[in-house]
Amino acid sequence: MKYGLLTYDENQRFFNVGDNIQSLAAKQFLPKVDIYLNRERLNEYQGEKVKLIMNGWFTHNIHNWVPSDDIDPIFVSFHMNNTAAPYMLSEKGINYLKKHEPIGCRDQFTADTLNEKGIKAYFTGCLTLTLDSYRVEDSERDDKIYIVDPLYSYPRPEKIFYNTKQTVKNILNGKAFQLGKKNKHLKNFISKEVLTNAEFINQEPPSNTYSDKQKFQMAEELLNKYARAKLVITSRIHCALPCLALGTPVIFINGFDSFVDSCRFDGILELFNRIDVNSKTGEFKSNFGLRGKIQETTSVKNLEKHHELSNALKRYVIDKV
C-alpha cells in the first residue's frame, strides 16, 4: 500500500498556507509519504492503490469530483462548502460518498448536508487540532504577539485588484473605497501599542513563487512560531485551531458575514475565545469578558474544549491508517 498526501492548486495571485498546515496534520499519522496528490485532480490518479487522508475543503474544481478508484480515502475532517455541494452531490457523488461512509466532517454544516442526502456523516472537528506534536514547553515561549490575517474577509487590495474584471466590479460596487475599514475596526478592540509592536503574518503569500517543498517548510515555520507565542490574534481557523493544539493563547476575530464563510465554522467557533465584529458598524462583543482593548498585558486562557475532538480524531485516523 502506498501513502499519499494532499497538495493544492494556486490561484492567480496567492495560495493559502493553511492548506499545507492541514496536510502536515495528516502527514504526522502516515508511516511514509510515497506520493503527493493534488486535491483538485484526484480523479486523474492511476496506479498502485494509495491511502489518502481526505481532510480539508473540497473542492474548487467540481468537474473533477469524484476521486479515482485507485485512491483508498480516509474521510475525516472533510468540508464540503455550500458553493460546491450542489455539484458534488450528484448521483455519482452521493454513491461515491456512500461507498466510503461514515464521513467524518470538519464542521456540522457538512455533516448535516451529507446526512440530508442519506449519507452517514458525523462531526469530527479539524485534524489540525491534533498538531500538539509541535507543542513546546512553556519555558520555551517568548513574548511575541502575532496578528494573523485579521478580518481578512474585509476588502483588501489583493482581492479588490485581483484582475481587471474584479477591479472594475469593486469600483462600481464601492468595495474599492472600503480599504481602510479593516484597520478602523481593529483599532476598536486592539490597542495602538499591540498594533504597533505585534508581528503581522500573512498566510496567503504570492503564487508562482514557491515549490511544494518550500510551502510545507513555510507551514512548519509558522507552527513553530505559533508554538512559542505569548498570544495569537487571528481570523484564520488554520491558525487558531493549531494554536489550541499547541497550547498557545489565541483570540479568534470573527467578522464574517457571508454564508460561504460562516458555514465552515459550524461547530468550530465554540472552541475559541472570540471577538465577534459587526462588519458594517465595527461594533463588537467578546465571549471572554474583554474590558477595553487587547493590550500587551492581556492574558487569556484557551477554553480547552477541543481535547475530546482531538483525542477521537487521533484514535480514528491511527486505526484507519
Q: 7 and 50, same structural domain? A: yes
Range of the domain at 182: 131-306
Q: Identify the pLDDT of residue 165.
A: 78
pLDDT, position 237? 96
175 and 74 part of one domain: no
Q: For residues 139 and 275, state if they share a domain.
A: yes
Q: Alpha-carbon distance 285 to 291, whole Å? A: 10
| Same-domain pairing of 180 and 114 | no
Whether residues 93 and 58 share a domain: the answer is: yes
Give CA 294 to chain center in angstroms.
Answer: 24
Claim to verify: residue 135 and residue 70 sit in the same structural domain = no
The model's pTM: 0.93
Q: Are residues 149 and 270 in the same domain?
A: yes
122 and 187, same domain (yes or no): no
Q: Which residues, including other chains, have CB under 8 Å from residue 160's CB and lie 6 or more apart?
A: 166, 167, 170, 175, 176, 179
Q: Which residues pair with 285 in a beta bridge?
A: 276
Res 57: pLDDT: 95
Same domain, 250 and 284: yes
State residue 155's pLDDT score: 78
From the list 249, 256, 257, the residue with the least C-alpha distance to 235 is: 256
Give the Å distances, CA to CA, from 307 to 26, 174, 181, 300, 314: 17, 44, 36, 18, 10
Domain co-membership, 135 together with 280: yes
How does pLDDT run across 274-307, given as a tens digit for each residue? 999 999 999 999 999 999 999 999 999 999 999 9
Note down pLDDT in tens along the chain; length 321 residues. Answer: 999 999 999 988 889 999 999 999 999 999 999 999 999 999 999 999 999 999 999 998 999 999 999 999 999 999 998 899 999 999 999 999 999 999 999 999 999 999 999 999 999 999 999 999 999 999 999 999 999 999 998 877 776 677 777 777 767 776 766 777 999 999 999 999 999 999 999 999 999 999 999 999 999 999 999 999 999 999 999 999 999 999 999 999 999 986 667 788 999 999 999 999 999 999 999 999 999 999 999 999 999 999 999 999 999 999 999
C-alpha span between 254 and 234 (Å, rounded)? 9
> Cell numbers at residue 297, please?
498585558
89 with 193, same domain: the answer is: no
- Domain shared by 95 and 147, yes or no: no
pLDDT of residue 177: 61
* Paired strand residues for 251: 233, 273
259 phi/psi in degrees, rounded to 5: -70, -30
Under 8 Å between Cβ of 83 and 106: no
**How many folded domains does the chain comprise?**
2
